[in-house]
Amino acid sequence: MLTHPTHDRLTALGLTGMAKALEDQRRQPDVEALPFEERLALLVDREAIERENKRLSNRLKFAGLRQTATVEDADMKIVRGLDKALFAKLAAGDWMNRHQNLAIIGTTGLGKSWLACALGHKACRDDRSVLYHRVPRLFDALALARGDGRHARMLKTLSRVDLLILDDWGLSAISQDQARDLPEIIDDRHGRGSTIVTSQLAVEHWHELIPTPTSADAILDRLVHNAHRLILTGESIRKTEAKRAGLDAKK
């Protein structure tokens, strides 16, 4: 007679995992043969799993990753010059503990964004806060935020996440206003968090994108000099997949 009130009380207390586990035990008569401590342990384990899944779901929602990707699904057989040993080391995440950065470089279609999102997903699973932005849209969002009073709050959010992913860096030169935002973002994160930057441009050409040489020096000094580099080569994955599907990739 106490089962249903207990279930309701657990739910009211926010212990939904324990409540579900209690219902499962009610449907399994054999579980009554277990000692009280073991039955309680099953309830607690279920609650811990439920909370962990909820935290992961919230972290992934906040991260806004562009692609659904996991490090376990990385296809090492595709020819793209991926350094397998370095990628495995990056997936382990110690570089984020050291607040180091990562540059993923390669021409279009080689999977730069996918790899960045896979590492971001792994960071979320490792209980780190992650935030993904395409660089052009980030600058647009910052410009709007400057006009409606959200600019400082947005910069603060960018500075606080454990891992910031800046995708599609270098599609075009940045403006003077953007050149003022970028040093704030990079400087606030220096020594506090890690940043992944994906770009079609080699790192040696990044300096040319920033209109103010002194700002460029300061940004690259903080962003690049402690960064790992994944240099991707080979034929576009999308083009390769199109060929396999019998499609004309040139269309």
The percent of residues above 90 in pLDDT, for the chain, comes to 45
pLDDT attached to residue 1: 39
Q: pLDDT (tens digit, 9 = 90+) per residue, 55-75? A: 999 999 999 999 999 999 887
The domain in which residue 51 lies consists of 3-62
Query: Residue 174: CB partners within 8 Å, gap ≥ 6?
Result: 139, 182, 209, 210, 211
Region 224-249: mean pLDDT is: 72
Mark whether 11 and 71 lie in a shared domain.
Answer: no
Alpha-carbon gap, residue 181 to 144, rounded angstroms: 13
Mark whether 93 and 7 lie in a shared domain.
Answer: no
Alpha-carbon gap, residue 188 to 104, rounded angstroms: 22
- For residue 150, is it within any domain? yes
Q: pLDDT (tens digit, 9 = 90+) per residue, 212-233? A: 888 888 888 888 989 999 999 8
Q: pLDDT (tens digit, 9 = 90+) per residue, 3-20? A: 578 888 878 878 887 888
Instruction: Answer whether residue 37 shows pLDDT above 50.
Output: yes
User: Which residue stretches of 64-172 are H helix?
Assistant: 84-92, 94-97, 112-125, 135-148, 151-160
pLDDT attached to residue 236: 64
Domain boundary among 62, 82, 112: 62
Mark whether 69 and 135 lie in a shared domain.
Answer: yes
Q: pLDDT (tens digit, 9 = 90+) per residue, 97-145? A: 999 999 999 988 889 999 999 999 999 999 999 999 999 999 999 999 9
Mark whether 48 and 120 lie in a shared domain.
Answer: no
- CATH number, domain of 85, equals 3.40.50.300
pLDDT band (50, 70, 90) for residue 88: very high
In this structure, what token pair is assigned to residue 92? 């382990």
Mark whether 108 and 138 lie in a shared domain.
Answer: yes
Give which of 186, 184, 199 is closest to 135, Cα–Cα. 199
Alpha-carbon gap, residue 7 to 205, rounded angstroms: 62
Q: pLDDT (tens digit, 9 = 90+) per residue, 192-205? A: 999 999 999 998 88
H or E segment and range at residue 61: helix 36-63
Mark whether 103 and 114 lie in a shared domain.
Answer: yes
Mean pLDDT of the chain: 86
Instruction: Answer whether residue 152 shows pLDDT above 80.
Output: yes
Mark whether 206 and 96 lie in a shared domain.
Answer: yes
Mark whether 35 and 155 lie in a shared domain.
Answer: no
Residue 229 identity (one-letter amino acid): R
